[in-house]
Amino acid sequence: MKKSLLKKIPDNIPQNIMRCISDADIYDSSCSPEAKVYYIEKGNGYYLKCSGKLSLKKEAEMTSYFHSKEIGAEMLDYISEDRDWLFTSAVFGDDCIHERYLTDPIRLCDTIAYELRKLHELDYSGCPVPDRTAEYIAAAMQNYETGNYDKSHFPDNFGYRSADEAYTELKNGMGELKSKVLLHGDYCLPNIILNDWKLSGFVDVGSGGVGDRHIDIFWGVWTLWFNLKTNRYRDRFLDAYGRDKVNKELLKVIAAAEVFG
């Protein structure tokens, strides 16, 4: 993950967090216009995320839950005032877009597939988001109604020729999507942290919850295509995850939902 050293500490950081980080170097580590992310170089490292009011509430809850499973960052503070602030420890290691991992794509493909299957086999009792699938479908349907359709981030085998075509696929198949596993929700290489090829934890779990495994499987296939610039690892990923749990028709339904954002 890229980091740019800041010459001046942002003056809107809440005071109780500022007291912890005022003597540290702070880096801008943002990768999305929706949120500012700061890396604090102190001790083993910290991350501070800032976004719109109440936008990080679910991420704070899911971060705590993943930490309780020993597969995520420790949630140190969550403040919701005029803006939301989420303060966490850094997960030790490097994300999967580090050169070390990208230069060994076969091992990387197998590793993230195995780790995803292990995640999906965890006990999800007490998860604060018990039906992520219902939320996921509702958001896709609402975005269709408001005209939010964008297939630009998907190659032909992920996308649809029109919004109506995608909507028909989604409407016909959404009843088959279940909530049966613990989801990451945004299972992409930058959100998977490895230490010498061993999982240290997951980050950016705000879209997680109990949901249909095909959401994560779809993003696992997508991130290999996007970050490795090839679709040659699609079948290998599905084999390594386990074909016994993969329904290709449901991957088409997820693709239909995703073009609506």
Residue ending a domain, among 71, 89, 107, is 89
pLDDT of the residue at 157:
59
Please indicate, yes or no, whether residues 219 and 248 belong to a single structural domain of this protein: yes
Residue ending a domain, among 89, 115, 141, is 89
On average, the pLDDT of the chain sits at 93
Instruction: Determine if residue 196 is left, alpha or beta; phi over 0 gives left, psi from -120 to 50 gives alpha, anything else beta.
Output: left
| Number of separate domains in the chain | 2
Q: What are the pLDDT digits (tens) for 158-174?
A: 668 889 999 999 999 99
DSSP 3-state of 32: strand
Q: What are the pLDDT digits (tens) for 221-261?
A: 999 999 999 999 999 999 999 999 999 999 999 999 999 97
Q: Is the pLDDT of residue 79 over 90?
A: yes
What CATH number is associated with residue 128? 3.90.1200.10
Query: Please, what is the angle between helix 163-173 and helix 248-258, to 10°?
Result: 130
Mean pLDDT of 1-22: 82
Q: Is the pLDDT of residue 206 over 70?
A: yes
CB 193 within 8 A of CB 94: yes
The residues annotated with a catalytic role in the active site are 186
Lowest mean pLDDT among 47-51, 117-121, 257-261: 257-261
- pTM attached to this predicted model: 0.94
| Range of the structural domain that residue 85 is part of | 4-89
